Amino acid sequence: MTTQAQILALALCLVSPALRAQGTHPITGRRIAPVMSADGADWLERSERESEERPKLALQLLGIQPGMLVADVGAGSGYYTAMLARQVGPSGKVFASDIQPGMIERLNARLRREKIRNVETFLATETDARLPPSSCDLILLVDVYHEFSQPQAMLRNLRAALKPGGRLVLLEFREEDPKVPIRPEHKMSVDEVRAELEPEGFRLERVLPDLPWQHILIFRK
Ligand SMILES: C[S@@+](CC[C@H](N)C(=O)[O-])C[C@H]1O[C@@H](n2cnc3c(N)ncnc32)[C@H](O)[C@@H]1O
């Protein structure tokens, strides 16, 4: 098991110097978290991640089907991207974007290594994930939304990329649970997420409580 101290140390230290967020959210006053550095990407790929966070269960609960077009925004080194690519299969596609070139390089290396060919990668900007309009059945943000430096602009952009009826899914560490061993600015409560997403045209459909540390929040456009 990764110890709580290790997790805290990582969350404290591995912050991208070029992407230190200073702002607060205009509606909730939430302090926006700094972006996790690509130098810390090994932590995203740690062997304990499956037992600690249960990512396979998360994707199972989302009902990812062959042929779907899914976007993994803030994909990091591609831990979720690779699983998504296998689930949507050759008739489906995954768009994966991240704001850090270092993460995109690691992601592309993983795709080459694992011979995954149904993923298109994009270098995002702080306001634009670079996804084609009305293209996605589902957009997944795993431990990412709380790092968006311009969350409102980004949400408008993501909304435009969803197909009618498409889902936006956030996995966020539960702020309501003091036992979740993550720094406070990297956690969010259900109320906070709702207060920020609903004004941008998203409706909270379900909150799944099944994961050990994270909420799964499912929104419809
Ligand atoms: C904690 S990591 C999670 C990575 C991945 N989702 C995972 O679970 O393995 C957060 C990622 O979000 C990315 N990120 C932060 N702000 C972003 C933005 N505005 N657009 C795209 N990616 C962003 C960071 O560069 C980082 O790779």
Q: What would the two tokens of residue 24 be?
A: 């607060």
- CA angle (163 as vertex; 153, 58 as ends), nearest 5: 85
**Cβ-based burial of 89 (10 A; exposed 0-12, middle 13-18, buried ≥19):** middle
- CA angle (18 as vertex; 6, 131 as ends), nearest 5: 95
CATH (residue range 4-220): 3.40.50.150
Please check the confidence at residue 9 and state whether its pLDDT lies above 60: no
Nearest CA among 220, 82, 75, 196 for reference residue 146 = 196
For residue 56, the model assigns a pLDDT of 97
Q: Whose CA is nearest to atom 8 of ligand 1?
A: 142
Confidence of residue 1 (pLDDT cuts 50, 70, 90): very low
11-50 pLDDT, tens digit per residue, is 434 555 445 556 999 999 999 999 999 999 999 999 999 9
111-138 pLDDT, tens digit per residue, is 999 999 999 999 999 999 999 999 999 9
For residue 22, the model assigns a pLDDT of 67
145-185 pLDDT, tens digit per residue, is 999 999 999 999 999 999 999 999 999 999 999 999 999 99
Pocket of ligand 1 (CB under 6 A): 35-36, 44, 73-76, 79-80, 97-100, 103, 124, 126, 129, 142-144, 147-148, 154
Mean residue pLDDT of the chain comes to 92
- Atom of ligand 1 at shortest range from CA of 78: 9
Report the separation in Å between the CA atom of 95 and the middle of ligand 1, taken as the mean of its atom positions.
14
Nearest CA among 51, 80, 61 for reference residue 209 = 61
Q: How far apart are CA 132 and CA 37, in angstroms?
A: 26
Confidence of residue 67 (pLDDT cuts 50, 70, 90): very high
Q: What would the two tokens of residue 176 be?
A: 């309501």
Report the separation in Å between the CA atom of 187 and the middle of ligand 1, taken as the mean of its atom positions.
14
- DSSP conformational letter for 82: H
34: left (phi over 0), alpha (psi -120 to 50) or beta: beta
